[in-house]
Structure formats: structure tokens, C-alpha cells
């Protein structure tokens, strides 16, 4: 009887031997980005000129001072229209393998086009945006200084994407811990990290962005009762049903509410929900607390680019 167990252990150890510690890496101090494009992108990001009625800017739903999202379950668009998904943070979004919850955009540029043209978000068209910006002498000048072809659809989203690329949040306490400062986080948070790894969270939330680099099914062990069918709504493939992009956990303490539909308000509840639906196991309250403490250590100061 024990033979089987020992064999299983042997197999398991062989599979997991590849360094667990390297599953999470710190945010780099810098990313390569064109400074002038960043400057222009930031201006566009903060300017409601891109919305059809001039009321909504990118920053309306992605408040750079408050975790890079809007703190609402669903975001508002122009004319007070209510969206269908919870707005994700714009911070570190460059590290994501896909953009949007269902991963329909392959990169930041593709993503940037979405909200501008979305009728319930900024309600504009890209051609319209080009026209409006072309009427602005300052933008004309700005664009011409950077792009030989001046204001174009591609150049607008390129500038915005370049700015978003620069929105990274290094130096979270946990990153400092990873870099060797063992006192950067509390004992409990450290234990929380170990639990995070041993309970299997890390299997989906890993990498530099601690998430954002993999799909997974929302509600594995129990139906999570989501009206949004995730990737399936794009591919119409059965195996894609309820597949969502695993979100980044960085700065998650500041991005409540949680889940694609903002169904959970606190981190504790989110951890508990994850344990229940996704891992199919029960966790003791103190374990959940410790994991929450760990998650809180992922909050980094607001970066220079966002100020």
C-alpha cells in the first residue's frame, strides 16, 4: 500500500522540482519606452478629447492615483451608460499576455482602440478621434514632432500604448523581499506567500505580474454562476467556455471590487472565493488572513510616470 504512495511522491517530486521560487519575479525598475511618446500618450490618456462628447478620458476608468482602475463594479461610459465588466488596472498591463478580461486584444495598442470605439465607453470612432485631434494645433505639433506622418489612428494608439507600457509599479514590499530584503514583509505575509504557493494559487498567479499570463476557467469545482462566458463569446468553442484571463494580483489591495463582474468587494472574500471555486478545497480563516497579508505586500508606490 505504501509502495504506491512512495511512488506517487517520487513522481510528484520529479515534477515539482523545477524551482518554485522562480515562479514569481519582481517588477523591473525600468522598461524601455520612448520618452516623448510617453509624454504624448499621457496627455492623450488624461484628455477627454478622445471621447465622442468630450466627457470621458482613459483616466476616467483607470484612475492612476487609485490603483489604475475606477473602484466600481462596472465602469460608466459617456452619457452615464453602464458597462458590463469591471475595469481592470492599467498598471503593469504591459506584462499581460492578452488584454481585456476575455483576452480579446493581443497587446496594449489593440486594447487602446477598444474603449475609444466602444459605444458604451468613449463612444467615438478612431477616424473621429483623428479629426478632432487634427483640429488641435498643439496635438498637431506634438504628433508632427514625433511621427513623420502626423496624426493617424495607429499613431494615437501607439502613443497611448507607449505610455501604458511605462506604467509599471516596481518596489512593492514583496519585490524587495524577493530581492533579498527578508524584513520587507511581515512574518505573517511571508507565511501567506508560502501558503499561496503550497495551496496551488501560484499555479495560475505567477510570473512577473503574478497573473495575467494564462487563461483559466472561472468556477472549476463549482459553477460560479457567471453570465459572461469569457473567451467562448469570441471563439464559440466549447472548450473556451468561461475561460478568462487570470488577473494580476499586483496592487490588488487597491483594485476592489474583484472578479470580472466585480462580485466580491474585499480581498479576503476574493481569496475565499478562489479557494472554493477554483481550488476545490477549504482553507482555514487564519490561512486566508495570511494570504491576504501576502497580497497586500504586493502593493507598490504610485510610479513617477503616473504622477
Contact between 31 and other proteins by CB under 8 A: the answer reads no
Question: In angstroms, how far is the first alpha carbon of the chain from the final one?
Answer: 62
- CB nearer other proteins, residue 15 or residue 227: 15
**What positions carry a catalytic annotation?**
121
Alpha helices (H) along the chain: 2-16, 35-46, 58-61, 108-117, 126-134, 137-146, 153-166, 173-178, 187-198, 232-235, 267-273, 285-296
Question: Does 15 interact with other proteins (rule: CB under 8 A)?
Answer: yes
> Which among 285, 264, 301 has a CA at the least distance from the CA of 188?
285
Within 13 Å and on the Cβ side, how many CA atoms surround 71? 8
Contacts of other proteins in 76-95 (CB under 8 A): 95
| Alpha carbons 42 and 160: distance in angstroms, whole number | 7
Residue 291, CA atoms < 13 Å, CB-side half-sphere: 26
Q: Find the shortest distance in angstroms from Cβ 139 to other proteins.
A: 28
> Which is closer to other proteins, CB of 27 or CB of 133?
27
- Residue 10 CB, shortest distance to other proteins, in Å, is 8
For the segment 255-294, give every residue that binds other proteins (CB under 8 A): 279-281
Question: How many residues in the shown chain lie near other proteins by CB under 8 A?
Answer: 40
Q: Is 217 a binder of other proteins (CB under 8 A)?
A: yes
What pairs with residue 217 in β-bridges? 243
Residues of span 142-181 touching other proteins by CB under 8 A:
none
Q: What is the DSSP letter of 18?
A: S
| Least separation in angstroms between CB 78 and other proteins | 34
Q: Which of the ranges 20-28, 42-50, 74-82, 165-173 carries the binding residues for other proteins, by CB under 8 A?
A: 20-28
Nearer to other proteins, 7 or 265 (CB): 7
Q: What are phi and psi of 173, to 5 degrees?
A: -55, -40
Yes or no: say if 122 and 116 are a contact pair by the CB < 8 Å rule: yes
> In whole angstroms, how close is the CB of 7 to other proteins at the nearest point?
5
If one asks whether residue 35 binds other proteins (CB under 8 A), the answer comes out as: no
DSSP state of 205: S
Q: Give me the least distance between CB of 261 and other proteins, in Å please.
A: 20
Question: Which residues lie near other proteins (CB under 8 A)?
Answer: 1-5, 7-9, 11-12, 15-16, 18, 20, 22-23, 25, 95, 97, 198, 200, 202-204, 206-208, 213-217, 220-221, 239-240, 243, 279-281
Amino acid at each position: 500500500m505504501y509502495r504506491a504512495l512512495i511512488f506517487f511522491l517520487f513522481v510528484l517530486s520529479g515534477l515539482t522540482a523545477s524551482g518554485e521560487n522562480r515562479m514569481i519575479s519582481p517588477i523591473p525598475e525600468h522598461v524601455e519606452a520612448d520618452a516623448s511618446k510617453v509624454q504624448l500618450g499621457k496627455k492623450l490618456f488624461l484628455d477627454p478629447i478622445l471621447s465622442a462628447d468630450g466627457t470621458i478620458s482613459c483616466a476616467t476608468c483607470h484612475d492612476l492615483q487609485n490603483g489604475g482602475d475606477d473602484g466600481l463594479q462596472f465602469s460608466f461610459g459617456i452619457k452615464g451608460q453602464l458597462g458590463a465588466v469591471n475595469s481592470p488596472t492599467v498598471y503593469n498591463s504591459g506584462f499581460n499576455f492578452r488584454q481585456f478580461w476575455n483576452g480579446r486584444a493581443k497587446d496594449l495598442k489593440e486594447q487602446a482602440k477598444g474603449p475609444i470605439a466602444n459605444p458604451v465607453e468613449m463612444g467615438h470612432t478612431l477616424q473621429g478621434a483623428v479629426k478632432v485631434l487634427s483640429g488641435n494645433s498643439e496635438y498637431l505639433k506634438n504628433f508632427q514632432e514625433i511621427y513623420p506622418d502626423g496624426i493617424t489612428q495607429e499613431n494615437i494608439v501607439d502613443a497611448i500604448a507607449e505610455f501604458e507600457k511605462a506604467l509599471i509599479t516596481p518596489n512593492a514590499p514583496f519585490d524587495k523581499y524577493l530581492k533579498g530584503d527578508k524584513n520587507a514583509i511581515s512574518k505573517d505575509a511571508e507565511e501567506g506567500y508560502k501558503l499561496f504557493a503550497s495551496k496551488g494559487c501560484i499555479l495560475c498567479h505567477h510570473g512577473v505580474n503574478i497573473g495575467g499570463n494564462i487563461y483559466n476557467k472561472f468556477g472549476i469545482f463549482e459553477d460560479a454562476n457567471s453570465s459572461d462566458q469569457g473567451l467562448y463569446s469570441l471563439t464559440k468553442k466549447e472548450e473556451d467556455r468561461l475561460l478568462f484571463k487570470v488577473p494580476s494580483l499586483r496592487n490588488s489591495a487597491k483594485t476592489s471590487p474583484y472578479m470580472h463582474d466585480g462580485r466580491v468587494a474585499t480581498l479576503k472574500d476574493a481569496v475565499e472565493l478562489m479557494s472554493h471555486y477554483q481550488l476545490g478545497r477549504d482553507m482555514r480563516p487564519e490561512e486566508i488572513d495570511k494570504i491576504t497579508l501576502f497580497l497586500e505586500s504586493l502593493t507598490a508606490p504610485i510610479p513617477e510616470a503616473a504622477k
